[in-house]
Amino acid sequence: MGIDIHVAGLTKSFGPQVIWQDVSLTLPAGEISVMLGPSGTGKTVFLKSLLGLIKPEQGRVLVEGTDMVAGSDRKVFRARRKFGLMFQDGALFGSMNLFDNIAFPLRQHTRATEAEIRRKVLERMAMVGLDGEEAKLPGQISGGMRKRAGLARALVLDPQIILCDEPDSGLDPVRTALLSQVLLDVNTVTDCTMLIVTHNIEIAATLPDNIGMLYRRDLVAFGPRELLLTSDQPAVAQFLHGSTLGPIGMAEEKDDAELARTPGTRTFDIPDQLRPSPGLPDRQGAHRHHARVMAELHRLPASARNAITAKLTDPPSQTS
Minimum CB distance to ligand ATP, residue 228 (Å):
16
Contact yes or no for 52/213 (Cβ under 8 A): no
Residues in a beta bridge with 17: 14
Nearer to ligand ATP, 40 or 281 (CB): 40
Minimum CB distance to ligand ATP, residue 226 (Å):
24
The DSSP bridge pattern shows strands 193-197 and 161-165 to be parallel
Contact yes or no for 283/316 (Cβ under 8 A): yes
**Counting contacts by CB under 6 A, is residue 305 touching ligand ATP?**
no
Q: Which of 25, 27, 34, 43 binds ligand ATP (CB under 6 A)?
A: 43
Minimum CB distance to ligand ATP, residue 198 (Å):
9
**Counting contacts by CB under 6 A, is residue 93 touching ligand ATP?**
no
Using CB under 6 A, count the residues that bind ligand ATP. Answer: 10
Nearer to ligand ATP, 19 or 196 (CB): 19
CA pair distance 46, 38, nearest whole angstrom: 14
CA pair distance 53, 47, nearest whole angstrom: 9
Handedness of CA 239, 243, 247, 248 (dihedral sign): positive
Nearer to ligand ATP, 66 or 200 (CB): 200
Residues in the chain, total: 320
**Counting contacts by CB under 6 A, is residue 14 touching ligand ATP?**
yes
Minimum CB distance to ligand ATP, residue 307 (Å):
27
Nearer to ligand ATP, 41 or 230 (CB): 41
Nearer to ligand ATP, 30 or 90 (CB): 90
Minimum CB distance to ligand ATP, residue 40 (Å):
5
Residues in 23-42 that interact with ligand ATP by CB under 6 A: 37, 39-42
Nearer to ligand ATP, 67 or 166 (CB): 166
CA pair distance 163, 51, nearest whole angstrom: 9
Q: Which of 45, 62, 96, 189 binds ligand ATP (CB under 6 A)?
A: 45
CA pair distance 42, 215, nearest whole angstrom: 9
Close Cβ partners of 234 (under 8 Å, ≥ 6 residues apart): 246, 247, 259, 262, 265
Close Cβ partners of 30 (under 8 Å, ≥ 6 residues apart): 1, 2, 187, 191, 192, 193, 284, 285, 288
**Counting contacts by CB under 6 A, is residue 19 touching ligand ATP?**
yes
Q: List residues near ligand ATP by CB under 6 A.
A: 14, 19, 37, 39-45
